[in-house]
Structure 1
Amino acid sequence: MDADLDILAPIGPLTEWLDAHVPELGNGPLRTSLLSGGTSNVVLTLDRGEKPMVMRRPPAVPPPGAEKGVLREARILTALNQTDVPRPICYGSCADESVAGAPFYVMEKVEGWAPNLRDEKIHNEPPFDTMPYEYGIPFAIVDGLIKLANVDHEAIGLGDYGKPGPFLQRQVDRWAGQLASYKERYGYEGRELPGYAATEEWLRGNVLPNETRGIIHGDVGTPNMMFHHGPPARLAAMIDWELSTIGDPMIDMGWFTGGMRDEDEPDREFPTALNNPANFPTRQELGRYYCAGTGRDIRDFDYFGVLAKFKSGCLLEYKVAQAEAGILSKETGRFFARIVEQCFVDTGRMVERLS
């Protein structure tokens, strides 16, 4: 056992638990290594002589709600074991903190590669950083989202996984309330955000009358995906299910395609985290592909594009508020201020075109 991984102590109860619940791991001495660590979760590899696996658990000093979040993530992955959705297999979860010091779950160690974020851009592994291979990456992700959207969540035991009642009708209040909360939380008086008011008004007046209920991943982006090695692009697993819920799954498409080229404005330059945006399809291409696979109406696609950018702008303004409060640097605040402003400039332009 690595000395710097004593957050797993005591090792005896953990080994006994693995013997009883995850025999697929093997029965040899437990070897561990830190795969990744952060403020919300720690990911460790587990090896006992058979096939290596991964443990996900909160850090030694967990943020509020981290323990509940780990078990929630374990629940959805366990339910998805019954489906063909690309995701890590969940082998077991444990809420008893005496076993490893915190709740945890054990999942498959997925073989493959994941895009990485550096210099504020998303970079793919060669040859997927060049055409024609990079063009297939988003289609592979949408293949996974189609499979997810087509899952009967009630049939796999997730009928109570999200809040009851209409999902879309409460979204504007949810994110507008989030934005307003920064005043009390950070003493932030806010600022003028051109496009915000028009976007909020349009969303309230254009809620879809008939929403579809299904599983939402909640954080769809290439860094939260793993791909099989070698072309063509094939999705191995969607990871990081912390923000998953039940609602209208088409919002995942609005979130995912928000930084892609727009056929309605082909010549407009736009900020994006994609390193080679010209190598990606347009957001409409992906929307049509998704609708063909799910039976959804492409006429609804723009609504979710507006809603996703509205949510993003409201959420990310907390970075600006933290910078004003001295929690983050002024430089960081200015960086996120530009992103938020662009979100509402984009949505303002979109609702003007759709009105």
Structure 2
Amino acid sequence: MSGPGTDRSTDRSTDRSTDHSTDRRADHGVDLDVLAGWLDAEGLGAGPVTDVRPLGGGTQNIMLRLRRGDADLVLRRGPRHLRPRSNDALRREIRVLAALAGTGVPHPRLVAACLDTDVLDGAVFYVMEPVDGFNPALELPGPYAGDPALRHRSGLAVARALAAYGAVDHEAVGLGDLGRPVGFLERQVERWRGELASYSSLEGYDGPDLPGVEALGDWLDAHRPRDWTPGLIHGDYHLANVMLTPTSGDVAAIVDLEMATVGDPLLDLGALLATWPRGDDVEVVDAAIGRAGGLPTRAELVRHYGEHSTRDLGALDWYVAMACFKLGIVLEGTYARSRAGLAPRDVGDRLHAATLVLLHRAREVAGV
């Protein structure tokens, strides 16, 4: 698995360089003439849209690298067959990208967005500047492949970028109403227990048969941190959702912000630690950079994050256990759908194995 079900906004790492500029829709599902008209209205270049290249690596969303006059752009929209919340997720991502401008958090620069679903086949979409970088879950360019010290540096940079993201003053950048921080931690266990229970409605799924999951939920509720400071949360932070610079070991961009909200940012750190490569037979995020070795230890990540954050890390074990609990339940959903014929069975089996690993890690942390 390259990740727990994410889209990777990448430039060089997943570029399939087929030029579809002669076919105004081709196989990428975007009407280029309609797009050109919208770009005209936004004052972005002139003439036809050319050099269209799908950017892969994600599971659902459509992303295209394209050229319009002198402008190189990346278009992002929901999947070809929009799901009920696809447009809402893109609206959220657009809003967060706009708010991050000027914060110092590495992110793709938003150029223009279209919230009008009448323009492009019912889809909200936006264009951004291409990111000069690569996805470390999908590939490892030469400088990184041959230099363990560079890989180590980049791992610390991933923690440092997360600290910067969580330090954003969400109210000052206009995101004060993005989420519901009051009662945020109190809602977590009930929210994900409800999600797990909902899978029982899928025909063919005999679960959930997840050892210790109820006791783990009870422990999480009993040991929930009482004092915390609200901040911006990514919601799916791991190695597959960052891009690294080509040679320096820095984070070029944090990507896939569709699940961003305001809550407790330490849940993002818990998720990063829960999914960090360990060299196990079952890796939750099977990242190319992880297979190469040389990454910082989890203890080093925590120390580096702490050096760049003012947050109290005293209850970090709880956040790691909570992240494992949540992600395990999310992945179990794909397993349940695979048993109902709604997802490939081999994918479901792999994710179920990852769920068991995550819950085992959480029980170890919790001592239950």
TM-score class, shorter-chain normalisation, is 0.7 to 0.9
Structure 1 residues 188 and 277: CA distance shift in structure 2, 3 A = same
Distance 1:87 1:285 in 2: 24
Residue aligning to 1:344: 359
Residue aligning to 1:265: none
Deviation per residue, 1:47-105 (Å, 9 max, x gap):
12223011111233212211221122111101111311100111111122333322211
SS in 1 for 2:156: helix
Deviation per residue, 1:309-352 (Å, 9 max, x gap):
00011111112212322334544433222211111111111111
Deviates further, 161-170 or 77-86: 161-170
Residue aligning to 2:252: 236
Alpha-carbon shift at residue 189 of structure 1 (Å): 3.7
Residue 29 of structure 1 aligns to which amino acid in structure 2? Answer: P
Residue aligning to 2:193: 176
Residue aligning to 1:43: 63
Residue aligning to 1:307: 322
Contact kept, 8 Å, 1:219 with 1:252, in 2: the verdict is: yes
Alpha-carbon shift at residue 195 of structure 1 (Å): 2.8
Residue 54 of structure 2 aligns to which amino acid in structure 1? Answer: L
SS in 1 for 2:321: helix
Residue aligning to 1:110: 131
Q: 1:33 aligns with which of 34, 39, 52?
A: 52
Structure 1 residues 326 and 17: CA distance shift in structure 2, 3 A = closer
Residue aligning to 1:55: 75
Residue aligning to 2:165: 148
SS in 2 for 1:106: strand
Whether 2:245 is the aligned partner of 1:250: answer no
Deviation per residue, 1:272-310 (Å, 9 max, x gap):
224437522221221121122111122122111111000
1:247-326 alignment runs, 5 A limit: 247-260=263-276, 271-272=282-283, 273-274=286-287, 275-276=290-291, 278-326=293-341
Residue aligning to 2:84: 64
Q: 2:103 aligns with which of 72, 83, 89?
A: 83
Distance 1:256 1:280 in 2: 13
Q: 1:204 aligns with which of 204, 215, 221?
A: 221
Q: 1:138 aligns with which of 155, 173, 198?
A: 155
Q: 1:193 aligns with which of 184, 201, 210?
A: 210
Alpha-carbon shift at residue 247 of structure 1 (Å): 0.8
Distance 2:181 2:249 in 1: 37
Deviates further, 129-138 or 73-82: 129-138
SS in 2 for 1:62: coil
Distance 1:5 1:261 in 2: 35
Distance 2:348 2:36 in 1: 46
Alpha-carbon shift at residue 159 of structure 1 (Å): 0.8
Distance 1:290 1:39 in 2: 30
| Greater relative CO, 1 or 2 (CA 8 Å, sep 6+) | 2
Distance 1:211 1:98 in 2: 42
Distance 2:225 2:120 in 1: 46
Unmatched runs of 5 consecutive residues or more in structure 1: 118-122, 263-267
Structure 1 residues 64 and 36: CA distance shift in structure 2, 3 A = farther
Deviation per residue, 1:224-263 (Å, 9 max, x gap):
2112111x3011111111111111111111111214478x
SS in 2 for 1:133: helix
Residue aligning to 1:127: 143
Distance 1:261 1:9 in 2: 40
Distance 2:30 2:230 in 1: 38
Structure 1 residues 304 and 164: CA distance shift in structure 2, 3 A = closer
Structure 1 residues 204 and 135: CA distance shift in structure 2, 3 A = same
Distance 2:359 2:113 in 1: 41
Structure 1 residues 17 and 332: CA distance shift in structure 2, 3 A = closer
Distance 2:280 2:52 in 1: 43
Structure 1 residues 205 and 80: CA distance shift in structure 2, 3 A = same
Structure 1 residues 227 and 334: CA distance shift in structure 2, 3 A = closer
Alpha-carbon shift at residue 9 of structure 1 (Å): 2.9
Unmatched runs of 5 consecutive residues or more in structure 2: 1-20
Distance 1:295 1:10 in 2: 47
Q: 1:219 aligns with which of 236, 259, 263?
A: 236
Contact kept, 8 Å, 2:169 with 2:231, in 1: the verdict is: yes
Alpha-carbon shift at residue 10 of structure 1 (Å): 6.8
TM-score (norm 2): 0.84
Distance 1:233 1:6 in 2: 32
Alpha-carbon shift at residue 8 of structure 1 (Å): 3.3
Structure 1 residues 350 and 261: CA distance shift in structure 2, 3 A = farther
